[in-house]
């Protein structure tokens, strides 16, 4: 939606009005969604964090004050994005390990008519993941601000369930940071289970952490989300959808993460499912965070 270089400056009211006269923008209602709101800040909020550490991220000017995303928030985002990569790796590996027939049924529109065309990883997966990472950065940066700022600046109200899950994700990130994980190394290292034991013990560091974990897990367990289990079931070798690799080659290149990284990737998956499957009881989907983000794009 934003023209090139838009995040560097904010358009004046006349330019905004000129850009809001197209039939498409009138149909979507985006001009009303962001009316009198700082478009430059909104666009900047959807960018992925830079690699520099210990630096605040300047989003723009709001009421003659510099609005920033603090360095600790940016550091958390870097960890979360690593978790997104793990989530995608688990999903694509699980799909590759799924039999051809099951993948065809996944891609079949009618329950009684088998369609012999397997469910595949989309060719634009890399671009899709990049957009999803930007979405994750957007909602977590917005989540950092107070409720009235979320409404005044972004015109976005996150759901209570989504907020609780986001807090759980941040809780896991805090544990990872506390244990001094080296984020430059591959979190898949140490797949022999030793890291899992070390990660689980971190949940009992002190009474406060245990109470937080108990509260978070009580909420998470209310969701009937089935965890995707990655395992080898001895099926005949079959080929990956994009590059023709068989199961043996996939097994040699993928290692399931353990410990806190595994918990984090699963929590991000559950949070993503909340956004993907959101349904407004009234049928008005304008409250959907994903639909809101399409306007940001």
pLDDT of residue 222: 39
Query: How many other β-carbons are positioned within 10 Å of the β-carbon of residue 202?
Result: 18
Task: Report, in angstroms and rounded to the nearest whole number, the Rg of the chain calculated over CA atoms.
Answer: 21
pLDDT of residue 43: 94
The burial of 258, by beta-carbon neighbours within 10 Å (0-12 exposed, 13-18 middle, 19 or more buried), is given as buried
Return the closest-CA partner of residue 103 out of 239, 295, 257, 218: 239
**How confident is the model at residue 60, as a pLDDT?**
94
Domain range annotation of the chain: 74-132+151-296
Give the per-residue pLDDT at 297. 84
Going by pLDDT thresholds of 50, 70 and 90, the confidence category of residue 278 is confident
CA 19 → CA 8, 44, 175, distances in Å? 17, 19, 45
- Name the helix (H) or strand (E) containing 252: helix 247-253
Distance CA 91, CA 89 (A): 5
- The answer to whether residue 173 scores a pLDDT higher than 70 is yes
Is the full-model pTM beyond 0.85? no
Give residue 22's pLDDT.
74
Question: Residue 237: pLDDT above 70?
Answer: no
Q: What is the pLDDT of residue 29?
A: 74
Q: How confident is the model at residue 53 (pLDDT cuts 50, 70, 90)?
A: confident
Q: How confident is the model at residue 236 (pLDDT cuts 50, 70, 90)?
A: very low
Other Cβ atoms closer than 10 A to 7: 18
């Amino acid at each position: 939606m934003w023209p090139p270089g838009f995040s560097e400056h904010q358009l004046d009211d006349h330019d905004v009005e000129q850009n809001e006269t197209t039939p498409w923008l009138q149909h979507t209602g985006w001009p009303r969604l962001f009316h009198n709101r700082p478009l430059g800040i909104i666009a900047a909020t959807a960018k992925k964090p830079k690699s520099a550490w210990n630096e605040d991220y300047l989003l723009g000017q709001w009421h003659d004050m510099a609005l920033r995303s603090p360095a600790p928030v940016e550091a958390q985002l870097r960890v979360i994005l690593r978790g997104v990569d793990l989530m995608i790796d688990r999903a694509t590996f699980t799909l590759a390990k799924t039999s051809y027939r099951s993948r065809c049924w996944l891609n079949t529109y009618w329950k009684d008519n088998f369609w012999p065309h397997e469910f595949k990883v989309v060719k634009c997966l890399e671009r899709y993941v990049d957009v999803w990472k930007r979405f994750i950065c957007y909602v977590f940066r917005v989540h950092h601000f107070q409720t009235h700022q979320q409404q005044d600046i972004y015109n976005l109200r996150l759901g209570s369930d989504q907020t609780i899950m986001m807090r759980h994700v941040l809780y896991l990130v805090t544990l990872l940071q506390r244990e001094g994980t080296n984020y430059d190394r591959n979190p898949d290292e140490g797949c022999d289970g030793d890291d899992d034991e070390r990660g689980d013990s971190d949940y009992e560091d002190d009474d406060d952490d245990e109470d937080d974990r108990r509260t978070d897990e009580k909420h998470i367990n209310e969701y009937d989300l089935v965890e995707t289990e990655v395992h080898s079931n001895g099926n005949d070798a079959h080929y990956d959808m994009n590059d023709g690799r068989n199961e043996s080659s996939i097994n040699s290149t993928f290692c399931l993460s353990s410990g806190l990284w595994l918990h984090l990737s699963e929590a991000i998956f559950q949070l993503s499912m909340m956004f993907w499957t959101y349904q407004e009881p009234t049928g008005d989907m304008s409250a959907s965070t994903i639909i809101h983000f399409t306007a940001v794009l």
